[in-house]
Amino acid sequence: MLEVASSAELRSATDAAGQRGAGIGFVPTMGALHAGHRALLARARAENDVVVASVFVNPLQFGPAEDLARYPRDRGADLAVLAAEGVDLAFLPDEREMWPAPPEVRLQVGGLADRLEGLARPGHLDGVATVVAKLLHLVGPARAYFGQKDAQQLAVIRRMVDDLAFPNQIVACPTVREPDGLAVSSRNAYLSAPERRLATVLYRALSAGRDAFRAGRRDPAAVEAAARDLLEGPAGLQPDYVALVDPATFEPVKQAEAGQVLATAVRVGRTRLIDNVIL
């Protein structure tokens, strides 16, 4: 595995791959790599000649009161995971390399960022779109891999690629979960033991919502209530939102249908967790 920290080194490595006619698969990450990232890397490995992964904790997508400073960072462990998953090229830029000055021109997401995560985290999805746009330009992959875990981010990236004619194919990968259902996340490391036990309610609640749909409920409020009841009742949590939305626009739906996304964000102690299921 080749490790590069600069765009120039990255470019010469990807140019060489391009000259060989090799298709590049790309997995952008913020590090603290876990089984969710590994699933993306394995899929990229299976579908491409050359696999590029990036590790960059992007300050543009963190709000002023968010966890940028304490976000878990472990370069040695990340490199071990990338090598074990057969990555060819690891791109590990520092902040000065990616943003030598704060970018003056940025992407702004429209209505898609006025809902759910966009409301709770102003500027977050703009910051994600801006860094992913730059990374896609730097790496030039045929395919780029994203997790369904961050369903609204995925919708934003898909829309960005369509709206702005990026030549990259976006591949969505299913959410990887712990045996008890909790979606694997770098932020799970923040949870104390009791919080970690409580956190299992997210997936149980979303599953209850999906079960209500499977049992024939078509009123979105009824599907959402089935999930909300578990979060608010026994667990005593106050979700930021529990919402059944269209997977492309993230707008509320009038009637529950297969393929829609039931999403939630819940604060467990100081840690904000997000998860979703597809009906």
CA dihedral in degrees (19, 170, 116, 256; nearest 10)? 180
Contacts of 191 (CB under 8 A, 6+ apart): 199, 268, 269, 271
Segment near ligand AMP (CB under 6 A); pick from 1-9, 28-36, 190-198, 216-224: 28-36
Percent helix / strand / coil, the chain, rounded to 5: 45, 20, 40
Nearer residue to ligand AMP within complex by CB, 29 or 130: 29
37 counts as binding ligand AMP under rule CB under 6 A: yes
Task: Please tell me the distance from the alpha carbon of residue 256 to that of residue 279, in angstroms, as a whole number.
Answer: 8
Contact by Cβ (8 Å): 157, 132:
yes
- Closest-by-Cβ residue to ligand AMP is 147
| One character per residue 104-133, x = contact with ligand AMP (rule: CB under 6 A) | ------------------------------
Choice between 40 and 98, CB closer to ligand AMP: 40
Determine which residue in the list 1, 133, 184, 225 makes contact with ligand AMP, applying CB under 6 A: 184
Which CB sits closer to ligand AMP, 14 or 175? 175
Q: Are 82 and 90 in contact (CB under 8 A)?
A: yes
Using CA atoms, how far residue 171 sits from 28, 53, 142, 154, 212, in Å, is 12, 14, 10, 9, 29
Contacts of 170 (CB under 8 A, 6+ apart): 143, 144, 146, 154, 157, 158, 161
The yes-or-no answer on residue 34 being catalytic is no
x-or-dash pattern for ligand AMP, window 46-85, by CB under 6 A? Answer: ----------------------------------------
Among 91, 146, 203, 250, interactor with ligand AMP by CB under 6 A? 146
**C-beta of 92: minimal distance to ligand AMP in Å?**
13
Nearer to ligand AMP, 35 or 83 (CB): 35
Buried b (16+ CB within 10 A) or exposed e, 54-77: bbbbbbbbbeeeebeeebbeeeee
Candidates 145-153, 161-169, 237-245, 253-261; binding stretch for ligand AMP (CB under 6 A) = 145-153
Binding site for ligand AMP (CB under 6 A): 29-30, 36-37, 39-40, 146-147, 149-150, 173, 175-176, 183-186
The catalytic site residues sit at 37
